[in-house]
Amino acid sequence: MFARVYVMLKLSTLTLFAGFLLAACTSLPVEKGKVYSTVLSNTGSTYLGQLISPYADQHPGLTGLHPLKTGTSALIARLVLIAKAEQSLDVQYYIWHDDMTGKLMLKALLDAADRGVRVRLLLDDMDTKGKDAMLAALDSHPNLELRLFNPFNSRSRRLMDFATDLGRVNHRMHNKSLTADNQATIVGGRNIGNEYFQAGEHVQFADLDTLAIGSAVDEVSQAFDLYWNHRYVLSFKHFYPEYDAGMTLEQLRVELKENYQQVKTSFYAEAIREAYDEFSERMEQLDWHWGRAATIYDDPIKIEGDDNREQTHLGAKLSKIIGHTKRELVMVSPYFVPGRRFVDYIVGMEQEGIDVKILTNSLAATDVAAVHAGYMGYRMDLLAAGAEIFEYKPGVNSVDISSKFKMGSSSGASLHAKTLTIDGRWIFIGSFNIDPRSAVWNTEIGIIAEAPGLAGALSEGFKGKLKE
């Protein structure tokens, strides 16, 4: 995403200018009276609780994963969870576009709040520019509360924060999760917007989420609570205590209803309507992969330093897990800038006979050319060590630059999934890219699971595509 360019700002004129503004340095706004709240855990009697409990009881201590491989299935899963929620919705995203699917999701949340569901919506402040009126109206609903991660001091002059407070605002919350009644959650690489749900006119992101039930759901909820109540998260009403940003709740309802009516008559609606009904009616019959799992995530305190401790940094946790690889490591990362130490580590794995395969965006597919330039500096060393690198290309085919095998892709597509499979047995699905932003600057979340069926299927599917 465009936010990855921010790491380059440290070398820009903007940063040099900031050096002359020490006297003007700012910090996180101070909020008084923020209400502490936690997950609603007594939800076994809800529709989702009664639906899921029999299956979870058959797999005590385990997590069930169902991969959401297409954009339409990912949107449908979110809409179904929101529609079925009876007590709570905890929703955390980096980007939430003001487009067709973004408004569709907002309407679903508002409808849930109207039913009496407690909705907690946590957004990173980077993507909220120009949306304050809509968000203030949404936040005015008594059952819906909106909070912002690491917000800018000014709602209209953000460039000044970059100039005077870059060390803070360069850190963003890249987490993505949606949890309904503490019974089911969706975690993965997708933000909220048309391009993530196969509804974009130009760019379509090839991405992956997982719908999860069982033990990992509580851990996602704990992570959400940690962020929701953290000092780096401020209530939206701190900035608009009277919700007077220019739009009323009723005006928002009219806008969201108009969008909904347009969606109902669109080709996109025809494409998802039947799938929505089917998913809603047979959710318990989905292809669940059960296994040991853990939710791993950055502590939001990560934004105070870059010491990369395992206790606070997802990257350090993931590195430890990768260290257990015996045969094969398959990494999918749209933004792949591994750094010298990780390249040396991969070289060592190849020398020990471990097969390493990497899929990332080609220059033609990436939406951040500067990141691709960073990756190019490490590509030849990885190839020389024996790693196989595949580059995702839109319109034609993605090319394996080490053997010229091909991987099919659609026109206008860009890779956005972030996954790891280890020995065809362990799988990680989350928001973490193998690049400096995810490792050092952004906060991230993901689920690591011992699910041989799912890990093996994705690994074999990856290899099968390469030979098409």
Q: What is each CA distance from 138 to 109, 236, 290, 311, in whole angstroms?
A: 9, 10, 37, 35
Candidate list 174, 230, 237, 372, residue with the active-site label:
174
- What single-letter DSSP state applies at residue 6? G
The C-alpha angle with vertex 222 and arms to 220 and 224, in degrees rounded to 5, equals: 70
Candidate list 97, 171, 176, 237, residue with the active-site label:
176
Annotated catalytic, 209? no
Closest CA to 298 of 387, 230, 373: 230
DSSP calls for 121-143:
EEEEGGG-TT-HHHHHHHHTSTT
Q: Which residues are 391's β-sheet partners?
A: 360, 399
Candidate list 127, 367, 423, 435, residue with the active-site label:
423
Q: Which residues are 310's β-sheet partners?
A: none
Candidate list 66, 171, 393, 416, residue with the active-site label:
416
Annotated catalytic, 59? no
Annotated catalytic, 139? no
Annotated catalytic, 230? no
Label residue 175 exposed, middle or buried (CB < 10 Å: 0-12, 13-18, 19+). Answer: buried
Q: What is each CA distance from 442 to 85, 202, 226, 267, in whole angstroms?
A: 30, 27, 16, 36
Annotated catalytic, 125? no
Candidate list 165, 230, 418, 435, residue with the active-site label:
418
**Residues 77, 67: Cα–Cα separation, whole Å:** 10
Annotated catalytic, 124? no
**Residues 393, 132: Cα–Cα separation, whole Å:** 36
Candidate list 181, 207, 298, 435, residue with the active-site label:
181
CB burial of 432-460 (b: ≥16 within 10 Å; e: otherwise) equals bbbbbbbbbbbbbbbbbbbbbbbbbbbbe
* Range list of β-strands (E), 333-386: 355-361
Query: Could you list the active site residues?
Result: 174, 176, 181, 416, 418, 423
